[in-house]
Structure 1
Amino acid sequence: MDTNGNPIQAHGFSVIFDEKTHTYYWYGEDKGRTTQGSNVWTYGVRCYSSKDFYNWEDRGHLIMPDTVNVLSPIHYSQGLDRPHIIHNPKTGKYVCWIKNLSDETQFFTILQSDHFMGPYTIVNPGFRPNGYEAGDFDLYVDEQTGKGYVWFERPHWEMICCELNDDFTGVTDKLSHHYTGKIPPATREAPTHFVHSGKHYIFSSGTSGYYPNESLVSVFTDYHGKYKDLGNPHPSDTSHTSFYSQITDVIKIPGKKNLYVAVADRWMPQIVGTDEPRQEWQRISDRFRGHQPRAVSNDPVVIMDRSQQVRNGWDVTYNARYVWLPVTFENGKPIIEWKDEWKLEDYE
């Protein structure tokens, strides 16, 4: 709950820390109106702030949905997912990438602002990096070089890492392919990148929609080199569902010696403790047998009218919850164990 006692609506989210104001900002998809029978997929990008990591104040929308133009990529009926915001040290701009899924393709919408809290303006709609369709993704700015990177799932086949252009509103032609040839539910998506002791790590989930599945963690030193798989970071999770959640970000807590926190969406709290995820994995495996990725295309993206599509059945994401757990390291491997309760004060 936020400080007003309302459910926090910031899913597919990230948490950042502003060193100047000593403030945490948690932003993500507003699913508050994604109710049964509605035509709302995501009602913009909502933000919360906190000074202590415990109490979160509703700061309203960073990005308001378009409520008029049904063909706008940020109209509330469009498939708007997993916003990520990075700061460009060269331009001073804040750049937000959003994943869009249409009935025919998946792509990015890129927005820009002079301030983290907005307002944001669309600068690159309908963007497919180097012609590839784009699914779940993560962004990162290298602190040493100032270069930006994006990792995204090429549905549903592989993960691609591209170097961003100078203003972070597009990509260069420098890219690499990872986890190639995997099909759902084994395809890697929801990449979550972080750095620890000079090494780069990526958590990723399998592909089973909002149904949870087993995570994988990989390590690398070269963005376009070999990613070494380290296995499941949730070794004690006998359900193989990442504790019924999907990791979306990793935060290093300032002022702590070595405290990293993996934050995750629990998209479907109603199925916790059931065997429904396993049943869905089998259905997905059957459905995607023989799957091949779509061809690379530089044709303009055509945004479809989704305003007549309504949420029903499984889509109760307005009721989604969150899982926040500390990360420990065993012989260089990140490990996440379940804790019913924990405090920042438990760590040095």
Structure 2
Amino acid sequence: MNNRIRNIAAFALLALGTLVPIQAQKVTNHSIRSGEIWLDTDGNPINAHGSGLLYHDGTYYWYGEYKQGETILPDWATWECYRTDVTGVSCYSSKDLLNWKFEGIVLPAIKDDPKHDLHPSKVLERPKVIYNEKTKKFVMWAHVESADYSKAAAGVAISDSPTGQFTYLGNFRPNDAMSRDQTLFVDDDGRAYQFYSSENNQTMYISLLTDDYLKPSGRFTRNFIGQSREAPAVFKYKGKYYLLTSGCTGWDPNKAELAVADSVMGEWKTIGNPCTGTDADKTFYAQSTYVQQVGGKKDAYIAMFDRWNKKNLKDSRYVWLPVSLEEGKITIPWHEEWDMEVFADKPRFEVDKNTFLLNDKSFV
């Protein structure tokens, strides 16, 4: 009997020994599958919601809300303000936009001060990070809220490194106006702007920041007044500025909308829903959060969305799709699965009598 027990124990240890290396293997992703669980390089689900990206010195950094614990609906709630306790802002790094290394919680919750903006009982949403070339600081802005969602403020933090730790500087209402869903945009001239839903989400503000990116400069515009747009994501293409937003329907998906302007602080014109394909009228059951230009590739952009799971926020998924710029029209087509080859340079084919050009080589 003793020998039998020892043999069983030895077999169990041997089995464990063969399993450990398998579990420890690094994960490699070869494509993006929107709506599916996306694993980091350690094999854990990426946890970075309401996110934004930063491209710095050849590396992408993905920042987002780190959702942990039970999703709750407060007893006092008169609307679907589902939430988890604030854990902090997470950061992942990548060279290829497919494989992401977890860098940790770069702005953690403050657990011992119930009055602090970052206390677990509060609300922290949509963190975005930009780099200031003049101050050499990484600057994070986020939507910070009181537990009852009445604060409607922006919180700012800074760091000497993209992977933190970030130092929280405090909150304010930019331009003395409510600030909820928000994003940041740095123009080619180094000027930075905050785009944010304000006036109870009825109006979108665009605010020029100070040279250090830490506060509003005092110059701002009010846009889409009374149109209830949120979840802003901004990009620049061929000298024009584009703003992707969602409607305000709580956690329920709705139709996306794209607007264009000749200058950030100029007049914005809506040009319709850019999404095409399956469930385009519901933005693929997701909501915009950021548009990232792909480094080293001309006219290559990725539109990023959150597919929220309101009753289990930790299990919310990511929808990333390549932006199509065919024939000067901007669309976001649905792809079940794709990789960066979608941005590969396409052969140029032109017919001129008996001659055609293929990759700039002439054939007769």
TM-score by length of 2: 0.77
Q: Does 1:347 align with 2:343?
A: yes
8 Å contact from structure 1 (residues 159, 188) kept in 2: yes
The residue correspondences of 1:318-333 to structure 2 (distance < 5 A) are: 318-333=314-329
Distance 1:129 1:36, change over 3 A: closer
Return the offset for 1:256. Answer: 2.3
Question: What corresponds to 2:259 in structure 1?
Answer: 218
Give me the whole-angstrom Cα distance separating, in 2, the residues matched to 1:117 and 1:172: 27
Q: Does 1:50 align with 2:86?
A: no
Distance 1:257 1:143, change over 3 A: closer
Give me the whole-angstrom Cα distance separating, in 2, the residues matched to 1:91 and 1:18: 15
| CA deviation map 1:285-317 (0-9, x unaligned) | xxxxxxxxxxxxxxxxxxxxxxxxxxxxx4311
Q: Does 1:158 align with 2:196?
A: no
Q: Does 1:178 align with 2:174?
A: no
Question: What corresponds to 2:159 in structure 1?
Answer: 113
Give me the whole-angstrom Cα distance separating, in 2, the residues matched to 1:257 and 1:224: 25
8 Å contact from structure 2 (residues 72, 84) kept in 1: no
Question: What corresponds to 1:75 in structure 2?
Answer: 119
With a CA cutoff of 8 Å and minimum separation of 6, indicate the structure with the bigger relative contact order. Answer: 1
Distance 1:257 1:147, change over 3 A: closer
| CA deviation map 1:188-232 (0-9, x unaligned) | 011101111111101001112222211100111122221011100
Question: What corresponds to 1:168 in structure 2?
Answer: 213
Return the offset for 1:132. Answer: 0.2
Give me the whole-angstrom Cα distance separating, in 1, the residues matched to 2:157 and 2:61: 18
Q: Unmatched 5+ residue regions in structure 1?
A: 269-313
8 Å contact from structure 1 (residues 107, 134) kept in 2: yes
SS at 2:258's partner residue?
A: strand
Matched AA of 1:263 = M
Q: Which has the larger radius of gyration?
A: 2
Question: What corresponds to 1:273 in structure 2?
Answer: none
Give me the whole-angstrom Cα distance separating, in 2, the residues matched to 1:90 and 1:239: 41
Q: Does 1:29 align with 2:73?
A: no
Runs of 4+ in 1 over 6 A off after TM superposition: none
Correspondent of 1:94 among 118, 123, 138 = 138
Return the offset for 1:128. Answer: 0.4
Q: Does 1:245 align with 2:286?
A: yes
Q: Does 1:195 align with 2:239?
A: no
Query: RMSD of the alignment, in Å?
Result: 1.8
Distance 1:173 1:347, change over 3 A: closer
Q: Unmatched 5+ residue regions in structure 2?
A: 1-38, 75-82, 345-364
Give me the whole-angstrom Cα distance separating, in 1, the residues matched to 2:276 and 2:256: 10
Matched AA of 1:192 = A
Question: What corresponds to 1:290 in structure 2?
Answer: none
Question: What corresponds to 1:311 in structure 2?
Answer: none
The residue correspondences of 1:293-308 to structure 2 (distance < 5 A) are: none
8 Å contact from structure 2 (residues 106, 165) kept in 1: yes
Distance 1:239 1:263, change over 3 A: closer
Question: What corresponds to 1:13 in structure 2?
Answer: 51
Return the offset for 1:149. Answer: 0.8
